[in-house]
Structure 1
Amino acid sequence: MTFMTQLFGAPRITIEDAKNLSDNAPEIIVYAAPIMFLFVLIEFYFSWRQRRGLYNKIETYTSVLVGIGNVIIAFIIKFGLFLLVIAVYNLLPWRMYINWWMLIPCYILLDFCSYWSHRVSHTQRFWWATHVVHHSAEDYNLTVSFRLSWVQHIKIVFFLPVAVCGFHPIVFFVANQIAVLFQFWVHTEYIKKLPRVIEFLFATPSNHRVHHGSQDKYIDKNFGATFIIWDRVFSTYQAEEEQVEYGLTTKLQQKGNPIYVNFHEFIDIWKDLKKAKCMREGLFFVFASPGRVARYKEKNEKKANASLVESRSDRSINSPETHGACLLEQKEWGRGLQNKRH
């Protein structure tokens, strides 16, 4: 057999095989969960011992509940997502066999797609609504990595180009799990800047802290999940310079409500759509960047307030009291003229 025939030409996957593959697929995140929990406890202990205040009760409670909800949803829809990737795989004439060394190119391509998925999630409001929950935390600790949207799985559409490359679905999902695990350790303040070559290539805690910053210079920067090199190539890189201020530019009203934290942006979009004057404005509210929408709404609010003040002023001028006062003033002015003439 040639190298190409060993690589490509895998048979299609039947429904029965899909069920077996799904049941027997490596659950890397499940195995890693106890270790992740242990590191959370260690970080919490040092934060408490050193009085750094990295773990706010409400913030931590919300992050954990959001994470639990996300795990439940992922468990429910796991087989459906697996079938979607299998359906794409079965349509391809260049289906690959399971070769574990293919994890490397698959992982790199997934990370490239992750960069663009992440970037779009910051530049289009609809996708921002599926991501804003992750940025809503005002503390920065390992539990923030659990704070992922309950509807984030629709972003699989950004990763289908990787599936179209013909990677076996098992390779695809294992690479994705490794990518998710990598993003756990970058959510900490305890790891400072690493050696320059690592900071240059990878999304380190320092690089990712910048991404969570609410200062102007930090907003919409450092989208890379594993490799920060994408940000350097596409001009979205920003080094950590000043102390990062975490959270959203507009603070949440119900920080301890995981349902509100997950869906508040969708609720705001719906409210804006109901006020939209035309389809174009409605599409703007859904797909423009969050910053542009905020500035547009602020501008309209100022116009509305100015119109209200002007309207009240007009009503005041034309009111009976004002009209009577004007008539009285005119009479007094007329009498003054008559006195001057005499």
Structure 2
Amino acid sequence: MFDLILYAIPFFTVTLLLEAASFYFLPDDDERGYELRDSATSIAMGLGNVAVNAGWKLVVLFVYAAVYELSPLSLPADNPWTWVALFFADDFIYYWYHRTHHTVRIFWASHVVHHSSEHYNLSTALRQPWTPFSSLPYWIPLAALGFSPWMILLQQSISLVYQFFIHTERVGKLWKPIEFVMNTPSHHRVHHGSNKIYLDRNYGGILIIWDRIFKTFQAEDEKVVFGLTKNLNTFNPLRVATHEFTAIGRDVWHAKRRRDRWGYIAKGPGWQPEPAAAEPQNV
């Protein structure tokens, strides 16, 4: 099975080293640059993600293939319009995958890993979860629509490669038509910001048009503060990978009502139950 991400690793490595060198030789007081322990954690998270996906992608491929074989539809891979349709369909699905992984806490528990760094550089792009399992259902409709499984996986990889290069402070705002259509370093810096104005904004993968259509777009205005609203203060990869799952388990364990247990799992991050109504008192 061809995996574009594996072939892209040498290019990721070279560009990461070049960016790190640029901060060393041309530092900028307004940019955080690299911190050795933070980058080491991000790289460890990326390697763990590759290891998990080595087995998990076989499951994904099997499911896509089963759905594709059962579907009455089959789109020809040699037709350029098939690839154009796949590009837009994949990017649209990615938007909703990404958005729900910010607004449903059990999904956020996996995705929060990517937002846990207080730095923003190419190593941050490698800070990926070790629990990628929740992404599977989102792309199944593409197989049902007749896109071959290898095409779906390839387009997913193309999207991830593109997104690697927008994790940088070294590129400012681009030409306005590009900024209007494409997800850029400026737009994605907003997405990684913990500023109140930037929370839950700019979910796009390659395109930013979905955010403009669904009213989740925010331009980069004030200086971005990277990280979480409550930062972890740890470089331990295991804790980075599991801390929100642990927090969910703790909240569910201590919840007094069944609906509160469900709320801690399926509501948004930071959700809290309403206080129980006070018992009427006899007078």
Looking at both structures, which has the greater relative contact order when contacts are Cα pairs under 8 Å and sequence separation is at least 6? 2
The Cα shift of 1:99 comes to: 2.5
The Cα shift of 1:51 comes to: 3.2
Q: CA deviation digits over 1:27-58, x for unaligned, max 9? A: 32222211111000000001112234411112
The Cα shift of 1:157 comes to: 0.9
CA-atom RMSD in angstroms: 1.5
Name the amino acid aligned to 2:186: S
- Separation in structure 2 between the aligned mates of residue 168 and residue 76 of structure 1, nearest angstrom: 20
Name the amino acid aligned to 1:30: L
2:27 is aligned with 1:51: yes
Aligned match of 1:258: 237
Runs of 4+ in 1 over 4 A off after TM superposition: none
Structure in which a larger fraction of residues adopt helix: 1
- Separation in structure 2 between the aligned mates of residue 65 and residue 266 of structure 1, nearest angstrom: 19
Q: CA deviation digits over 1:73-131, x for unaligned, max 9? A: 11122222111100010110112343362222112101101101111111111110010
- Separation in structure 2 between the aligned mates of residue 270 and residue 292 of structure 1, nearest angstrom: 14
Q: Give the conservation status (yes or no) of the 8 Å contact 2:73–2:144.
A: no
Aligned match of 1:328: none
- Separation in structure 2 between the aligned mates of residue 33 and residue 48 of structure 1, nearest angstrom: 22
Aligned match of 1:76: 55
Q: Give the conservation status (yes or no) of the 8 Å contact 2:263–2:271.
A: no
2:65 is aligned with 1:89: no
Q: What secondary structure, in the 3-state scheme, does the structure 2 residue paired with 1:149 have?
A: coil
- Return the TM-score normalized by structure 1: 0.77
Match of 1:39 among 5, 10, 15: 15
Q: Give the conservation status (yes or no) of the 8 Å contact 1:98–1:170.
A: no
Q: What secondary structure, in the 3-state scheme, does the structure 2 residue paired with 1:230 have?
A: helix
Aligned match of 2:185: 205
Q: What secondary structure, in the 3-state scheme, does the structure 2 residue paired with 1:131 have?
A: helix
Aligned match of 1:215: 195
- Return the TM-score normalized by structure 2: 0.92
After TM superposition, list the pairs within 5 Å mapping 1:148-187 onto structure 2: 148-187=128-167
Q: Give the conservation status (yes or no) of the 8 Å contact 1:100–1:171.
A: no
Match of 2:127 among 138, 147, 151: 147
- Separation in structure 2 between the aligned mates of residue 58 and residue 129 of structure 1, nearest angstrom: 22
- Separation in structure 1 between the aligned mates of residue 71 and residue 23 of structure 2, nearest angstrom: 51
- Separation in structure 2 between the aligned mates of residue 105 and residue 259 of structure 1, nearest angstrom: 39
- Separation in structure 2 between the aligned mates of residue 275 and residue 99 of structure 1, nearest angstrom: 56
Aligned match of 2:6: 30
Name the amino acid aligned to 2:9: A
Q: Give the conservation status (yes or no) of the 8 Å contact 2:48–2:130.
A: yes
The Cα shift of 1:281 comes to: 0.6
